[in-house]
Amino acid sequence: PKHQKKETSEEMMVDPADLMPESTGFIAFKGSGNRLDGKKKKDNVDDQLNHVKVAYQRGIPDYDYTIGTLQFIRNIRPLINDKENENQDGFKAFAGSGSVLKTKTKKK
């Protein structure tokens, strides 16, 4: 028996953003509790209505992936040769002149 591929055009019609779960980030003071002054807690219904669903952003697939390898991709800054040129201009550590703010008094 040969394996027949199903047509994926129907599956691709579904927006993947609808399938993703909403982010469960930290919401300050969201928990239940009692106020110390005895007043009733205000219900903020507006916060729930203003919550905008974040657009789903697909990642870039790595077609050269080999099983068993991990890659930690970092943005590497290009080396700047200006720092090397500054060091060659004659900088010497602790070569500056000092000054005294308060003169020492003699003990008798």
Please write the tens of the pLDDT for every residue from 34-56: 888 888 877 665 555 555 666 77
Let me know: does 56 contact 23? Beta carbons within 8 Å.
no
Pairwise pLDDT comparison (105 vs 6), residue with the higher score: 105
Residue-level pLDDT at 47? 55
Output 91 or 105, whichever has higher pLDDT. Answer: 105
Return the amino acid letter for 96. G
104 or 3, greater pLDDT: 104
pLDDT at 68 over 90: yes
**Strands in the chain per DSSP E:** none
Measured CA to CA, the distance from residue 95 to residue 81 in angstroms comes to 24
- As a whole number of angstroms, the distance between CA 66 and CA 63 comes to 9
Domain extents in the chain: 8-82
**Entry pTM:** 0.23
Given a cut of 80, whether residue 19 has pLDDT beyond it is no
